[in-house]
Amino acid sequence: MADDTDPGIGVGDPIGSGFPSTAIPGLIPQVCVTFDRSLEILIMGYKGGAYGLKSAMQCEHLMAAYQREGWIDKLRVAASDLKRDLGAALCAEPIYDELHPLQSRIKLRQAPVAYLGRETFSTWVEVNLSDDGAGKSVEICDSSLGGATIDEVQVSYPDTVLECYHGLQTLQAPCVTPLIGTCGGGTDGYKLWWPIYQLVKPDVDETDVSETGDFLTAIKWRTVSLDTTLAVEIVGECDCGCCDSAGDLTITLEDAIEGIVCIESCVSDSLCTCYDRQIRINYGTAFSYGAGVDPALEEALVLLALTKAGDTPAKPCGCDNTMINELLKIDPTSATEFATKLSYGPTVAGMSVMRTVNRALKRPHYNQPVRTGGLFTGRKVHNKRRSPSYLRG
């Protein structure tokens, strides 16, 4: 069983979007775009085959376990590349123990800031799945959530699977239906439902619905929430009696886009000075935080992963591969990009990624001016100082 402070192997994102709409963060995701979502972006018809599930009404093109692992790995590498190129992760990502001198105003090293604080986890609860034919489900009552919301619930494979499985696949987020007065003994709660193909065990290459032993019979869940009291921590000991603990400090977010925080510390008298103290700050960062993941960048991540997969076994394959094959063809416009380095290759997918990233770098937020320069600048602008920007890597 994974430690309660560790996301663990085989652990999926919180049930919500994975990008906090309030101050609630998600964990470091295995991939910013989930396996299932990547198949939707590539417009794969029968997704069950990608999980290894046969169907009499669909083609028999299946992805074996090693192919699923390979595709998820390409998504992870693509996410890492875009994070480096954009200067921030696409989805909220925690930054732990960033060290700074104790000052009243601090510019964090990563931005924009999604939240201040650190994630805390409840203990895992394992529950059996109920089968309805088309899928399986569990019920979680409000009384079991301990005041948390359903968006703070994280699901995972059960311990019996994680004992032997150490790969990259995770249990996908379920379909959530509110229950009014019908959960447990007549209380409110939620029904979490998964289509049967998402419950194929991650180490199974191919199966059909008659092979019941190849499907999950239970899942486990826990809550993940944000503890804002863990946002700042005093480093080391203090022999003067002030600024001894994080309780002596108050941290507030002044500018989320630029990553600027304000620190209010204890008042020092003539016998107690704390000017030489250091602090650790815990926070989360994400590209364009506040508007959710840009759908263009979400698509760019999947297309970049596709260019990395190429014609290897990691390339997603479905009943109709027309779109994927077209994306991997050489883009005829690549030969005309004389002034541009083809950062992501000359394929249709790679050129699309390059154009999307370039647009995001020029205008990361819709209401910011376009940043231009070089041969194609409309007018010459002399900047005596560097404009503040979080796109600094």
Question: How does pLDDT run across 68-86, given as a tens digit for each residue?
Answer: 999 999 999 999 999 999 8
For residue 369, what pLDDT band results from cuts at 50, 70 and 90? low
> Which pLDDT score, from 0 to 100, does residue 13 have?
58
Give CA–CA dist 15/186, Å, rounded. Answer: 23
What value does the mean pLDDT take over residues 274-290? 79
Of the CA atoms within 13 Å of residue 6, those in its CB half-sphere come to 6
More confident residue, 380 or 193: 193
For residue 26, what pLDDT band results from cuts at 50, 70 and 90? very low
Assess whether pLDDT exceeds 70 at residue 264.
yes
Assess whether pLDDT exceeds 90 at residue 127.
yes
Is residue 193 a contact partner of residue 56, using CB atoms and an 8 Å limit? Answer: no
Interior angle at CA 327, CA 324 and CA 329, nearest 5:
115
Is residue 190 a contact partner of residue 144, using CB atoms and an 8 Å limit? Answer: no
* Mean per-residue pLDDT over the chain, rounded: 81
247 backbone dihedrals φ, ψ, rounded to 5°: -65, -15
Instruction: Count CB neighbours of 141 within 10 A.
Output: 16
For residue 391, what pLDDT band results from cuts at 50, 70 and 90? very low
Assess whether pLDDT exceeds 80 at residue 242.
no
Q: 27-60: per-residue pLDDT in tens? A: 333 467 899 999 999 998 888 999 999 987 777 7
pTM for this prediction: 0.81
For residue 1, what pLDDT band results from cuts at 50, 70 and 90? very low
Give CA–CA dist 13/357, Å, rounded. Answer: 25
106 backbone dihedrals φ, ψ, rounded to 5°: -130, 135
Cβ-Cβ contacts under 8 Å for 234 (sequence gap 6 or more): 243, 244, 245, 246, 248, 249, 277, 279
| Residues above pLDDT 90, as percent of the chain | 52
Assess whether pLDDT exceeds 80 at residue 366.
no
> Which pLDDT score, from 0 to 100, does residue 10 have?
59
Assess whether pLDDT exceeds 90 at residue 16.
no
> Which pLDDT score, from 0 to 100, does residue 103 have?
86
Is the preceding omega at residue 112 within 30 degrees of 0, hence cis? yes
> Which pLDDT score, from 0 to 100, does residue 45 have?
80
250 backbone dihedrals φ, ψ, rounded to 5°: -125, 125
